[in-house]
Amino acid sequence: MAEPSTKNCSKPLSAEPARPREGAPRIAIFTDELDWHVERLIKGFARHGARAVPVRLSACKIDTTRPQHIAIPGFHGGLPDAAVVRAIGDGSLETVTLRLGVLHALGALGVPLVNSARAIERCTDKSAASFLLAAARIPTPATFVTGSRAEALRIIRSECGRAPLVLKPLFGAQGWGLKLIRREEDLPTTKEARGVFYLQRFVPPRDVWYEDMRILVSHGEIIGAMRRRSRRWITNIRQGAKPTPCEPSARERELALRAAAALSADFAGVDIIAGADGLPMVLEVNSMPGWSGLQSVTPFQIAERLAGDIMAAIGAAARRANG
């Protein structure tokens, strides 16, 4: 089964969706477009008796004249029963800060979020994620982050004698913007690196294939896993890698669950790679992971499982509120 395409399914979001039937849970899906993942989630929530409403975070606002001090389009002055964050959206530091502020406000109002603003901030900032993983004693490739190009060059001189380094954007996803650093001349300018040099020790392949594992975690449980194989060193599905189903080992499962917990992520895509000694290490944790590649090798609907987990979180929050 081929990976489902998202290229031709983008549509404008509805500014004012019809009201859900009386009493049905209402779920906000924060997104910029009606892509494959959002459409699957809408269907998944419908099967659980809930109405999912796609909303752009850029359209939300803080308004202290309102009873809840916040305005979410499509919810007629009220709050969603829960929210799934699929996209923050591009923009300036100020606009992104406002959108995260909306998520922080919803969390403070008791709305279950997948994921919380705190988890998104931790996962999106690769430097914070690397620090927290190391602090939790979760094995990861050696990582160095600096704002000084001179320091980055010193790290290259020290490290590249044993293995190349991978330069990653501090904020990035799907394998875009990665650069293999073998020598000082490979390092971009400070402007090209946007002022931050995030360097991680490259993990070479054990045979002709480059391979890692994506494990999907939801609310403390493993949903599924796949191996991603490629002839290229970047193993993201969007970059041409091929997914194959797999069963994680007990150690890989443990690391995935610990990594998601260390970054406070209820829903996460944890990327794991085997080191030269064959032992697994966590590469990164994604707080807004896609799963179309995993879905192509998974016999059940992942979106329906995720919707069910969120509905259970709504019930647990209601029980806590009622004492």
β 51-55/26-30 pair status: parallel
CA 299/CA 1 separation, integer angstroms: 11
CA 284/CA 293 separation, integer angstroms: 18
Residues 6+ apart with CB under 8 A from 311: 25, 45, 48, 50, 82
pTM of the predicted model as reported, rounded to 2 decimal places: 0.88
* Overall size of the chain counted in residues: 323
Secondary structure string (H, E, C) spanning 151-193:
HHHHHHHHHCCCCCEEEECCCCCCCCCCEEECCHHHCCCCCCC
**Are 55 and 86 within 8 A, CB to CB?**
no
- The pLDDT of residue 148 is 97
CA 3/CA 311 separation, integer angstroms: 27
- The pLDDT of residue 207 is 78
β 197-201/210-218 pair status: unpaired
Amino acid at 279: L
- The pLDDT of residue 23 is 75
Q: How many angstroms separate the Cα of 83 from the Cα of each of 39, 51, 200, 233?
A: 15, 11, 33, 35
CA angle 172, 175, 181 (to 5 degrees): 95
Residue 87 backbone phi and psi in degrees, to 5:
-155, 140
Residue 11 backbone phi and psi in degrees, to 5:
-135, 155
Maximum separation of any 2 CA atoms in the chain, in Å: 66
Domains of the chain, with CATH numbers? 26-115+304-321 (3.40.50.20), 122-129+206-287 (3.30.470.20), 143-201 (3.30.1490)
Beta bridge partners of 204: none
- The pLDDT of residue 71 is 95
Neighbour tally for 33: CB within 10 Å: 16
Interval 239-270: pLDDT, tens: 778 999 999 999 999 999 999 999 999 999 99
- CA–chain centroid gap for 289, Å, is 4
Amino acid at 44: G
Beta strands in the chain (DSSP E): 26-30, 51-55, 61-62, 70-71, 82-85, 113-114, 143-146, 165-168, 179-181, 197-201, 210-218, 221-230, 242-245, 267-274, 280-286
- The pLDDT of residue 175 is 58
Within the chain, which residues score under 50 in pLDDT?
1-12, 14-20
Amino acid at 174: Q
What token pair was written down for 140?
């990861």
β 197-201/179-181 pair status: unpaired
